[in-house]
Structure formats: C-alpha cells, structure tokens
Amino acid sequence: MRGLRRAPAIDMTRSSIVARRYAEAYFALAKDAGDIAGWRNELSAVVDVFSHDEVGRAVVNPRLPLSQRVRLGLDLLDGASSPARNLARLLIERRRVPLLPEILAHYDLLADRDSGVVRAEVTTAVPLDERTERDISNALSERLGGSVQITLREDPAIIGGLVIRIGDRVLDDSVRTHLQQLQAALA
C-alpha cells in the first residue's frame, strides 16, 4: 500500500523465536490433520489451564520432580487431544510453559496467513459508525486483495483522522502526525 511505512522492528527475542518454532510445528501438524480450527481450540484450552497462577507455578517449579510436574500438567488436560497433551508434556519438560500465550499468538498468525485473512488495527479519535467501519474494511480488502478483519481502537490523542496498522506496516493519517510534521517543517 502506498503511504505505508515500516513500524519499528518487533523484538524477536530468543523466547519469541522459540515460541514461533513451536507454533510452526504445531500448526504444520494441525494442517496435515486438516483441522486448524480444532487444534487452535485445543491449544487455547492448554493456555487457559496453564495460565492459572498456581498451575503455572507448579509445572515450572524446579523443586518438584519433573515426573510429578508432567503428571500434574497432563492430569489437568485429561480431556484434551493427544497432540495438545504431547505439546504440554514437551513444554513442561523443556521449561517452556511460559511461552504458551506467545505460541498461541504465533499460531493465530499462521492460521490467518493460511486462510488469506489480514488483520488490521484501525485507531481513530472518536468511535466510528458502522458504515464508516464497513467502508474502511472494504477499501482495505480491495487494496490488499483479501479478507480483512478490523480491530477498532479509540485514541483521542490523535485528534482526528486515523492510523492503520497491518502487521509491521503503519499508515498514519492522523491530525496529530500532520501537526507534528508541520511543526518540524516550520522549525
């Protein structure tokens, strides 16, 4: 898209890279099984179980024997599918349970990419009516050549206009940015 600029680089820390690799492996298995949505639901359930403070602390507690931590985690996932349980076991064994939310986020990105969905965050100073939201969505879909899912945010600090973020690309057509550019030009 014309007018888009790159946002600051995402911090790809070691943990983020590791989370992405787990997500890619799990996604590949889900795709092979032909059930991307079902596997996503299973992964989300694993994230939910391990996001409880006491559970999350217990499965990473080095004072507990590994076998006990694994058994606890798998007992809590009693109704989960074998792939979800296997992922949980692997994450417990490798002390990677804290990466689960990030693994889920990467999985969602892979699923979107696979289905041709583009996610856009649209920030405006005031709430949009349904027609304007639909017009923005249609314009983005046409421009990007695919289905666009919009998340709306309000930020009165932008004064007016809008800011569209798609991945690492940003189209900033806000009044605030125009005023800042004018101020810089006059300085």
Query: From CA 85, how far away is CA 25, in angstroms rounded?
Result: 14
Among left, alpha and beta (phi > 0; psi -120 to 50; other), residue 7 is beta
Contact 157, 187 (CB under 8 A): no
pLDDT tens figures, 44-80: 999 999 999 899 899 999 999 999 999 999 999 999 9
Query: From CA 61, how far away is CA 124, in angstroms rounded?
Result: 44
pLDDT of residue 108: 93
Task: Assess if residue 69 is contained within a domain.
Answer: yes
CATH of the domain at 175: 3.40.30
Whether residue 98 is found in the same domain as residue 179: no
Contact 24, 15 (CB under 8 A): no
Whether residue 71 is found in the same domain as residue 55: yes
Per-residue pLDDT band at 3 (split at 50, 70, 90): very low
pLDDT of residue 10: 44
Residue 36 or residue 118, greater confidence:
36
pLDDT of residue 12: 57
Whether residue 42 is found in the same domain as residue 75: yes
Phi, psi of 148, rounded to the nearest 5 degrees: -120, 130
Tokens 């694993």, residue? 46
Task: Assess if residue 4 is contained within a domain.
Answer: no
Whether residue 28 is found in the same domain as residue 98: yes
pLDDT of residue 139: 93
User: Domain range holding 121?
Assistant: 116-186
CATH of the domain at 99: 1.10.520.20
Task: Assess if residue 148 is contained within a domain.
Answer: yes
pLDDT of residue 185: 95
Measured CA distances, 7 to 62, 139, 163, 169, 178 (Å): 39, 21, 12, 5, 17
Helices (H) and strands (E) in the chain, counts: 8, 5
Residue 49 or residue 5, greater confidence:
49
**Number of domains, the chain:** 2
pLDDT tens figures, 99-151: 999 999 999 999 999 998 989 999 999 999 999 999 999 999 999 888 999 99
Whether residue 127 is found in the same domain as residue 69: no
pLDDT of residue 101: 95
Task: Assess if residue 26 is contained within a domain.
Answer: yes
Residue 7 clears pLDDT 50, i.e. is over it: no
pLDDT of residue 29: 97
Task: Assess if residue 41 is contained within a domain.
Answer: yes
Task: Assess if residue 88 is contained within a domain.
Answer: yes
Q: What is the pTM of this model?
A: 0.72
Contact 74, 13 (CB under 8 A): no
Whether residue 78 is found in the same domain as residue 155: no
Question: DSSP strand E in 90-182: where?
Answer: 117-124, 147-154, 161-166, 169-174
Whether residue 176 is found in the same domain as residue 104: no
Nearest to 41 by CA among 108, 97, 93: 108
Give every CB contact of residue 25 below 8 A, 6+ residues apart in sequence.
none
Whether residue 122 is found in the same domain as residue 103: no
Task: Assess if residue 3 is contained within a domain.
Answer: no
Q: What is the mean pLDDT of residues 4-10?
A: 43
